[in-house]
Amino acid sequence: MNSKTSHNSTSDLGFEGLLNRYEPVIGLEVHCQLKTESKLFCACKTNFGALANQNTCPVCLGLPGVLPVLNHQAVDYAIAMALAVGAVIREKSVFARKQYFYPDLPKGYQITQYDLPYCEAGRLRLDTGKEIVIQRIHMEEDAGKSIHGDNASYVDLNRAGIPLLEIVSAPELSGPQEAYDYLKKLRAIARYLDISDGNLEEGSFRCDANVSLRPLGSQAFGVRTEIKNLNSFKNVERAITYEIFRQADILESGGLVKQVTLLFDAASGRTQVMRSKEDSPDYRYVPDPDLGLLYLSQERVAQVKSRIPELPEGKSLRFQTEFGLTEADARQLTEEKELAAYFEALVAAVQGKVTAKIVANWILSEYLREHNTRHWTWGQQDLSVEAFAELLGLLGDGTISGKIAKSVFEEMVESGARAPAIIHSKGLVQITDKDEIKAMVQRVLEAYPEQIEQYRSGKHKVFGFLVGQVLKASQGRYNPGLVNDCLKEALHEPAKKD
């Protein structure tokens, strides 16, 4: 467990100790922005980063006399999400007004869904196999944004009216790790479906966490606090961890946890109470008289279903059976659908010259390293499948050793040149001449007589060191397998001096 929290526990309970006494109960509420062209109830653009209030119109400005009209695509996206998590879709659901006064809420109410959301009872399976119930998902419009100055705040309504799905999990997550995993999986689904960018930092995927503790073994729920607007996966973990400790401290000292709304301060690593929140405001929900029913017929649902791509869980299982990958590798490869697609394309392109497992290893280590450090995006193709497959082919047919292949890879990425050109210009073709290798082995053994003794007296670890010396002397060009053989032969030669 992450013990690098800045929490200062007065009770000296470590996380392990804490878990022996309390069970954390966590529920997550995710607001997932849908990447439609226009807003939920009007035809304004939804692009991020426009000049303040540029993407507005009478409807989303809440001018007098305006009326909402529902976006068809947003509904299809909502249906897709429901199907992906196996939720039960309600044929007739209702839009409701949730009323409160806030400057970024131009109508003084938000159009959302209340007691008749469009779907309920979905499931998400975590890595551990544990299934988390998704209690409900509903459609709603986003609010605008306020930017705070010293003495005033400034309201930008570009975001007001953008379609959101509010996805509410049951309080079944038992720790920060599970929360992290749940969130990652949910996000992956949203991105696979191509209904959302799923970007926490940009705000297209927002997470609030409800955290409570209860004594181990107890069935009753403890008082829960709500941590709002966690803006990175890391902060979700940190905030929940901190909050668990904070509540444990209170309970350990005999106090009562107060039901408050909190913000997480990333700099200090602590949760802080939000000042202006009242206890459970009265939102006075009422069905919106300006909208009719949200009617989701079986035909419509079937249509959306037919367009749903293979989802992460299914793809991961398929990678395990079809390509013989481990569960861990398959999961990693399927986290992003573009990565999974890249992998599959590369496997096809190498045409069996190396195994899928090797392709997977290469992608998960070499490729991802470059992808992340160089901030590649899937849109701009950084390293083509053809070039990569070419390199792996040369590895597979023995032209180069694995070690050389890695350095060629780096050169390819750096210069954009193709593998054959690099190999030829640098003379990197693998050496398989046994005589030459034997000769080098001899020279190395002569240089390290002690190691020979050590090996012969049973310290077999020194073998690796000797192999390394031979390879080093060849600048990695010797076929490692042959070096192994030759060295073994040399060390086990019966010609020993007494």
Partner 1 sequence: MSQIDRQTVEKIAGLASLKLSEEEVLYYQDQLSRILDYMDQLKAFPDGLPATWRAELEQAETPERPDRAEPSHVIEKVLQSAPRVVGTAFQVPRIIE
Partner 2 sequence: MREPFQLPAREIARLTMDGSLKPEDTANFYARRTEDLHQVCNTHTLWDKDAVLNEAEKQIDYIQAARYAHKSLPLAGVPIAIKDNIMVEGQMATCGSRFLRNHRSAYDATVIQKLKAAGAFLFGRTNMDEFAMGSSNENSSYGPVLNPWNRRHVAGGSSGGSAAVVAADMVPLALGSDTGGSIRQPASFCGVLGLKPTYGAVSRYGLIAYGSSLDQIGHFARRVEDLALLFDVLAGPDHLDSTSHRGAPTPTLPTLAQGSLLGTKIALVRDFLGEGLDGEVRAHFEAAMARYRELGAELVEVNLPHIKASIPVYYIIATAEASTNLARFDGIRYGVRVQKPGQNLREVYTQSRSEGFGREVKQRIMLGTYVLSAGYYDAYYAQAARMRELIKRELNAVFASGVHLIATPTAPTTAFELGQKTHDSLAMYLGDIYTIAANLAGIPALSHPIGFDGKGLPIGLQLMAPAFQEATLLRSAYHYEQQNQPQFDKRPRI
Shortest spacing between CB 231 and partner 2, in angstroms: 24
Strand-pair category, 131-141 with 119-125: antiparallel
DSSP H/E element including 225: strand 225-230
497: Cβ contacts below 8 Å, ≥ 6 apart: none
Candidate ranges 1-9, 16-24, 32-40, 288-296; the one touching partner 2 (CB under 8 A): 288-296
Contacting residue, 286, 302, 317, 328, with partner 2 by CB under 8 A: 286
Contacting residue, 3, 64, 129, 152, with partner 1 by CB under 8 A: 152
DSSP-assigned beta bridge partners for residue 146: 155
Q: How far apart are CA 153 and CA 421, in angstroms?
A: 60
Q: Which positions from 273 through 302 interact with partner 1, judged by CB under 8 A?
A: 274-276, 282, 284, 287, 291-295
If one asks whether residue 273 binds partner 2 (CB under 8 A), the answer comes out as no
Shortest spacing between CB 385 and partner 2, in angstroms: 46
Shortest spacing between CB 106 and partner 2, in angstroms: 6
Contacting residue, 2, 6, 10, 54, with partner 1 by CB under 8 A: 54
Q: How far apart are CA 125 and CA 19, in angstroms?
A: 23
Q: Of 272 and 365, which has the nearer Cβ to partner 1?
A: 272
Contacting residue, 25, 30, 32, 44, with partner 1 by CB under 8 A: 44
Q: Of 292 and 309, which has the nearer Cβ to partner 2?
A: 292
Q: How far apart are CA 180 and CA 290, in angstroms?
A: 39
If one asks whether residue 95 binds partner 1 (CB under 8 A), the answer comes out as yes
Q: Of 146 and 365, which has the nearer Cβ to partner 1?
A: 146
If one asks whether residue 80 binds partner 1 (CB under 8 A), the answer comes out as no
Mapped onto helix, strand or coil, the DSSP state of residue 226 is: strand
If one asks whether residue 69 binds partner 1 (CB under 8 A), the answer comes out as yes
Contacting residue, 12, 64, 65, 148, with partner 1 by CB under 8 A: 148
How far from 124 is each of 33, 74, 131, 453, CA to CA, in Å?
19, 22, 6, 59
Mapped onto helix, strand or coil, the DSSP state of residue 387 is: helix
Q: Which positions from 67 through 86 interact with partner 2, judged by CB under 8 A?
A: 67-70
Q: How far apart are CA 96 and CA 448, in angstroms?
A: 82
Contacting residue, 101, 279, 372, 498, with partner 2 by CB under 8 A: 101
Shortest spacing between CB 136 and partner 1, in angstroms: 17
Q: How far apart are CA 335 and CA 432, in angstroms?
A: 40
Complete DSSP assignment for 13-48: --HHHHHHHEEEEEEEEEEEE---SB-SSS--B--T
Q: How far apart are CA 356 and CA 244, in angstroms?
A: 42
Contacting residue, 3, 101, 280, 498, with partner 1 by CB under 8 A: 101
Q: Which residue do the tokens 């107890």 mark?
A: 218
If one asks whether residue 151 binds partner 1 (CB under 8 A), the answer comes out as yes
Instruction: State the number of binding residues for partner 2 (CB under 8 A).
Output: 29
DSSP-assigned beta bridge partners for residue 208: 29
Mapped onto helix, strand or coil, the DSSP state of residue 175 is: coil
Backbone angles phi, psi at 23, to 5 degrees: -110, 120
Neighbours of 106 (CB within 10 A): 21
Residues lying near partner 1 in the complex (CB under 8 A) are found at 36-38, 43-46, 51-54, 56-58, 61, 63, 69-75, 92, 94-95, 101, 103, 116, 146-157, 263, 274-276, 282, 284, 287, 291-295
Residues binding partner 2 (CB under 8 A): 58, 61-70, 97, 99, 101, 103, 106-109, 153, 155, 282, 284-286, 289-292
